[in-house]
Structure 1
Amino acid sequence: MTETLTTSALTADRFAPYGDVLEAVGEPTKWINQGMCGRHHDLAKMDFSDGKAGISFFNAQPRPLPGKVDLVERHPDGSQAFIPLLQTSFLVVVADDDNGTPVNLQAFLTKPGQGINLYRNVWHGVLSPLEAPGLFAVIDRIGDGPNLEEFWFETPIGVEAGEEKST
């Protein structure tokens, strides 16, 4: 591995080119259920070319840091949201596109309780909980035809925790 990415904390501003950060922060959009439940409403820009939105559960094994990225993927026909069902952090790797090649990779660490929605056609790493196995609700496109492109790096890219750690 010759190149190494250093993680930074996941924030809405930093992640904006790639997707939405999903978290229940600030004042709820509205109160429901007789004022006993705060609703943080419509947090993601879900986008599908066809098909429908589906909800799946992913049970991912941990991938501790330091680690490596040897594969990224993207979904040209739909966005993809990852919502942790356990209070765990996970690694998010994203990249820009240069004529079908992922470039300018960035690595983010979520804090427990944060989820993400990856915009349609954004290169991203595999689901990588850090400390323990992670259970995630995943909302993405269900439909006919393939919705997956993979890119394998000839030389894996290292990933290490940066000084900015999510808390």
Structure 2
Amino acid sequence: MTPIVLPVQPLTPSAFAPFGEVLALEGADSFPINGGRTQRFHALGRVRCLGRDANVVLSIFRGQPLVPPVLDLMERHPLGSQAFMPFSGSAYWVIVAPPGVFDPDAIQAFLARGDQGVNYFAGTWHAQLLPCDPDADFLVVDRDGAGQNCDIVRLKPPRTWC
């Protein structure tokens, strides 16, 4: 089955607003702390964690590029947000669709710079981690706890973006 080619747009806060938050220092509120030796870039995103017996967890994901770049599934986490912040400084792909009933015609592709993170809103459909470079490390903030928090859909036909 021939993949559908997704147009790719730059990751900007306004373009990504329906899906989550862009985590970046550019344009962020900041103020000095620790006697002026540290600049705090405050509240870049909000962690959402729904349900009882749930916690916010910090993890490191080490990702590999998808070769060839053909996406055949997407997932969502209905009980909490999920944030990705790259450590390596390399770019990565962000492929999303709005929360709710999955609409394959609403899939959008973004190219994130290595200094930008994303915080997917609870329920936002998204691709798995798609780094451009091998062994790319990401800080991941998400929910851990009771309840079914990962739904998967298969894409027919699959999608490609580059």
Normalised to the residue count of structure 1, the TM-score between the two structures is 0.88
Per-residue CA distance 1:82-115 (angstroms, 9 max, x = gap): 0111111110000125634444100000111100
Tell me, in whole angstroms, the C-alpha distance in 1 between the residues paired with 2:58 and 2:79. Answer: 16
| Structure 1 residue 63 displacement after superposition | 2.7
Tell me, in whole angstroms, the C-alpha distance in 1 between the residues paired with 2:82 and 2:48. Answer: 9
Report the equivalent of 1:165: none
Report the equivalent of 2:118: 116
| Contact 1:107/1:159 (<8 A) preserved | yes
Higher mean C-alpha deviation, range 91-100 or range 49-58: 91-100
1:107 to 109, 119, 127: 109
Tell me, in whole angstroms, the C-alpha distance in 2 between the residues paired with 1:98 and 1:46. Answer: 19
Q: Give the alignment's Cα RMSD to 1 decimal.
A: 1.7
Q: How many residues align?
A: 159
Normalised to the residue count of structure 2, the TM-score between the two structures is 0.90
Note the 1:5-20 alignment, pairs <5 A: 5-20=6-21
| Contact 1:96/1:103 (<8 A) preserved | no
Report the equivalent of 1:164: none
| Contact 1:80/1:139 (<8 A) preserved | yes
Relative to structure 1, the CA distance from residue 31 to residue 98 in structure 2 (aligned partners, 3 Å threshold; closer, same or farther) is closer
Tell me, in whole angstroms, the C-alpha distance in 1 between the residues paired with 2:17 and 2:49. Answer: 19
| Contact 1:102/1:123 (<8 A) preserved | no
Tell me, in whole angstroms, the C-alpha distance in 2 between the residues paired with 1:12 and 1:26. Answer: 10
Runs of 4+ in 1 over 2 A off after TM superposition: 96-103
Tell me, in whole angstroms, the C-alpha distance in 1 between the residues paired with 2:77 and 2:48. Answer: 11
% same residue: 35
Report the equivalent of 2:131: 129
Q: Which runs of 5+ in 2 are unaligned?
A: none
| Structure 1 residue 72 displacement after superposition | 0.4
Report the equivalent of 1:61: 64
2:148 to 141, 146, 149: 146
The one-letter code of the counterpart of 1:61 is Q
Per-residue CA distance 1:92-141 (angstroms, 9 max, x = gap): 00012563444410000011110000000000011010023210110000
Relative to structure 1, the CA distance from residue 14 to residue 145 in structure 2 (aligned partners, 3 Å threshold; closer, same or farther) is same
